[in-house]
Amino acid sequence: MTSSWLRVPMILAVLALPGVAAAAEKDKDKDKDAPAKPLTEEVVNAETFPPQDADRTDKAAQPLTVKAQVLLDRARFSPGAIDGREGDNYHRAIAAFAAAKHLPTTDHLTKEVWDALQPGDQAAAVKGYTLTQADVDGPYVSRIPPKMEQQADLDAMGYTGAQEMLAERFHMSRDLLGALNPGQAFDKAGTTIAVAAVEPMGTDKITGKDLPQDPKVTRVTVDKTTRDVRAFGADGQLLAYYPASIGSTEKPAPSGETTVKGVAFDPVYTYNPKYGFKGVKTKRKFSIRPGPNNPVGLVWIDLAIPSYGIHGTPEPERVSKTESHGCIRLTNWSARDLAKHVTRGAKVAFKDE
């Protein structure tokens, strides 16, 4: 009779055969080769950490990333446009959240970060929204011309359609809105679509008597290195974090400190030839009418430094990824959020390093 210990080398030898080893490796990688989870309301809301397809390397929007971005947004650590992708804005928001919550330093979604995002926020990350007739009717503009001089000829700088409007209202990229709603019509009232479950961005003009709202922001930092804006309360508590485009080579952002002079919702943009913006050839002043696609978006937070402000943008998905004309550019929803809470006279500090 052959003892059992003599069979062990034989078993190991069989496993070492190329065909058997390849089969074992194939079984090990089976999950990686499996189709990605569908991007649906149900799948996003059911996601937990870590995801079963955590090792996937494809570039498509991921359900867990969508959910984490929504939770960060609701915690007022904005990842920029919610797109389900692991971009710089997402990682910087995680880093800021981890630091604020005194978690181990990280810019990736860890178990500690995930657990800190969960308590007290058990609401769905994606929800259904039914289009109204007003959503469908607009009014919308057919096209936004690329040159500022041409934009000055438009009666309004509105959205170009319901999909652009809905994506911005719910802090999303248009690609993610489309991916969550394949084949859905955005031009038919009564259609129910899936959207990020965040506080919808309004477009109403808030009057001075209703400002500032609680919690009040008394100090703002603008970090040129990390490309973000942070809002603090009187007690020094960090109230909100926003990704930002800050200055450019032709017109760098200022240094030092200044203060907030006031806030204008739905502003008219006036171009002064002294700005000398690249691509603008006219030597005369001109104005561009209000709207979400206005060069400064839906809000202008005026600073005590002439011609500088914190404002919105017509291109929310490019915030922090492109330069600005010297000012501090936020998404329209972030700019409105800051404008609703910042006090007149609030200190603004520019950090160079």
SS3 90: helix
> pLDDT band at 353, cuts 50/70/90?
confident
Q: pLDDT tens, 113-172?
A: 999 998 877 899 999 999 999 999 999 999 999 999 999 999 999 999 999 999 999 999
Q: pLDDT tens, 199-247?
A: 999 999 999 899 999 999 999 999 999 999 999 999 999 999 999 999 8
Q: Provide the mean pLDDT of the chain.
A: 88
Q: Hey, which residues does 265 pair with through a beta bridge?
A: 299
| Start-end of H helices in the chain | 4-16, 18-28, 30-33, 41-46, 63-74, 88-100, 111-117, 133-137, 148-151, 162-169, 174-180, 332-341
Give the C-alpha separation, 117 to 69, whole Å. Answer: 10
Where does residue 244 rank: exposed (0-12), middle (13-18), buried (19+ CB within 10 A)? buried
pTM of the model: 0.87
Out of 97-106, 168-177, 270-279, pick the least confident: 270-279
pLDDT at 323: 64
Selection from 298, 344, 312 nearest residue 78 by Cα: 312
Selection from 187, 189, 83, 206 nearest residue 133 by Cα: 189
Per the structure block, which two tokens stand in for 101?
């919550």
Tracing tokens 């006036």 back to the chain, one arrives at 270
> pLDDT band at 56, cuts 50/70/90?
low
Q: Output the CA–CA distances (angstroms, integers) from residue 170 to 73, 127, 177, 184, 306, in the order listed.
A: 10, 11, 9, 17, 33
Q: pLDDT tens, 253-310?
A: 889 999 999 999 999 999 988 877 777 888 889 999 999 999 999 999 999 999 899 9
Is the link from the previous residue into 50 a cis peptide, with omega within 30 of 0? yes
